[in-house]
Structure 1
Amino acid sequence: MFKLLLIEDDETLFKETKERLTQWSYDVYGVTDFGQVMKEFTALKPDLVIIDIQLPKFDGFHWCRMIRTHSNVPILFLSSRDHPTDMVMSMQLGADDFIQKPFHFDVLVAKIQAVLRRAYNYSTAPSLLKAWCGATVDYDKNLLQNEYGSVELTKNEMFILKQLIEQKNNIVSREKLIKSLWDDERFVSDNTLTVNVNRLRKKLDELGIGHFIETKVGQGYMAVEEESV
């Protein structure tokens, strides 16, 4: 049974969400002290974190930053604000998905299921290690290593890289990536994928291989073994 940490200060919404998710066999925990979120996160060791942006003392962005310094646990943001910069900011900080309030509960469940599936189903792959552009890609640990060092990817970043590597030298459309990453692409901004790919490239640049992910304008992205001419 998956443990979910729901960081939500609206007590009515928290209770309703917990009750509904419990019916789906999730263990849902809340926060008792919004000034000690990291302490409670560390003690619980949840499989997924759901964070509201507007919280007492510190906002959800702050806690996302803190969590990401210690863990790559999947993070899903909630927000009652409708400004697109909230979604962009959450993805830049390493969140795996974003849902706007008020939300249909079935959409929340679908997003939770998709995030958990991406995060914890890599072990079903026939091979967890892959060689690409002189680097070793560890799908299980979300880790890339080469002679220049190592970088750790978020679940979404590794999922994108895995899709591109498995179809290397072929263009993977933006639509296909979005549909693979998020069950219902109607609820995903096209910019969400761009943010994730840019963050992936930035990490690959640390190993000197960011340029091997090429953008094909109006089409999608392509992983190559050698730079195309």
Structure 2
Amino acid sequence: MPNKMRKLAPGATRRYRFPQLGQSGEGAPSEQERFESGYQQGLEQGQDQGYQEGYQQGLTSGLIEGESRGLAQGQARGLAQGLAEGRASFDEAMQPFTRLQQQWESLCRARMLQQKQVLAQLVEQVARRVIQAEFTLNPQQVLSQVEQALATLPTQPEELTIYLSEGDRRRLAELGVTQCAGWPLQQDGALAIGDARLETRAAVIEVNTAERLDACLDKINSALDASLNG
């Protein structure tokens, strides 16, 4: 349908409608809309950029901090592992020396024990020889032991027989001694040098030099054991 143009009468006017601000034609966005759109776009871009920069900065800081902590933990673990492995290697390397030390200590202890036994035997032999020599050279020492035994009797016996070894009896007789405390001296071939036996009706007292020597040797052995264990 063709457009009809209506002509105005001479002198008549028609109102003109201005387009909205910022529009050059119908449907064009206004300046306000463009401002709001730009603001929103800038806001979104700023948020995206801030997010990206914050994420990147946090990631970088996290990596640096994580690397630092990981390095410290790795060093600590590596040091502990190295120390453990070094200790294990050292202990393994020291095992032969430990066994050698134990063998050496065992050998030394065995040698010391052997020397102790040899020393104890030597002391015993020397002591027995010295005692025999003393009683042989001075038989009156036997009478001293007899007198000590008599002192242990609770009362004076009515009858008493004193027996000495054959050698001691003979040597005392050679010195003119045939009695002890008024009681005659008899001989008994079963007695050893320095031994004596006193017989009464109520009791028998034996003077055994070997037993007294053994008691002294026990004390010596105890002293040697203490020095060995110490």
TM class, shorter-chain normalised? Answer: under 0.3
User: Of Structure 1 and Structure 2, which has the larger fraction of its residues in strand?
Assistant: 1
Q: Which is higher, the Rg of structure 1 or of structure 2?
A: 2
TM-score of the superposition, structure 1-length normalised? 0.23
TM-score computed with the length of structure 2 as normaliser:
0.23
Higher helix share: 2
